[in-house]
Amino acid sequence: MPFQPEMLAFCGKTLRVAKVAHKTCDTINKTGGRRVRDAVHLEGARCDGSAHSGCQADCNLFWKEAWLRRADAASAPRVNRSGISEAAFARTTRAPGEENSADPTWVCQTTALFEASEPLHWWDFRQYVRDLSSGNHSLPHMLRLLAFATFRMVLGIGVGYRALIAAYNRFQKLRGGKPFPQADGKVPMGQPTPHATLDLKPGEWVRVRPIEEIRATLNTSNHNRGMWFDPEMVQYCGEPFKVQMRVDRLIHEKTGKMLVMKNPCIQLEDVYCRATCTRQRMGCPRAVNTYWRENWLQRVES
Residues 250-273 pLDDT 10s: 999 999 999 999 889 999 999 999
CA dist., res. 41 & res. 136, Å (int):
11
Q: pLDDT value at position 83?
A: 59
The answer as to whether 147 is a domain residue is yes
Residue 287 lies in a domain: no
Per-residue pLDDT at 201 exceeds 60: yes
Q: What's the average model confidence in pLDDT over 293-302?
A: 91
For the chain, percent of residues with pLDDT exceeding 70: 95
* Residue 90: per-residue pLDDT: 77
Per-residue pLDDT band at 281 (split at 50, 70, 90): confident
The per-residue pLDDT for 100 is 86
Res. 39 pLDDT band, cuts 50 70 90: very high
> Is 245 part of any domain?
no
Q: Which residues contact 286 (CB under 8 A, 6 or more apart)?
A: 21, 24, 25, 41, 60, 273, 275
Q: How confident is the model at residue 89 (pLDDT cuts 50, 70, 90)?
A: confident
- Domain membership of residue 146 as a residue range: 137-178
Mean pLDDT, the chain, rounded, equals 92
Evaluate whether residue 167 is within a structural domain: yes
Structural domain total, the chain: 1
Instruction: Evaluate if residue 77 carries a pLDDT over 60.
Output: no
On whether the CB atoms of residues 233 and 241 are closer than 8 A, the answer is no
73 pLDDT above the threshold of 80: no
E strands along 9-62, which residues?
Answer: 17-20, 23-25, 33-35, 39-42
With cut-offs at 50, 70 and 90, classify the pLDDT of residue 74.
low
Name 121's Cβ contacts closer than 8 Å, sequence gap at least 6.
Answer: 32, 33
Instruction: Tell me whether residue 160 is in a domain.
Output: yes
- Whether residue 150 lies inside any domain: the answer is yes
pLDDT higher than 90, residue 248: yes
Distance CA 161, CA 47 (A): 42
Residue 30 lies in a domain: no
Q: pLDDT tens digit string along 101-128?
A: 999 999 999 999 999 999 999 999 999 9
CA–CA dist 206, 294 (Å, integer)? 10
pTM greater than 0.85: yes
Do the domain assignments include residue 262?
no
Q: How many other β-carbons are positioned within 10 Å of the β-carbon of residue 205?
A: 15
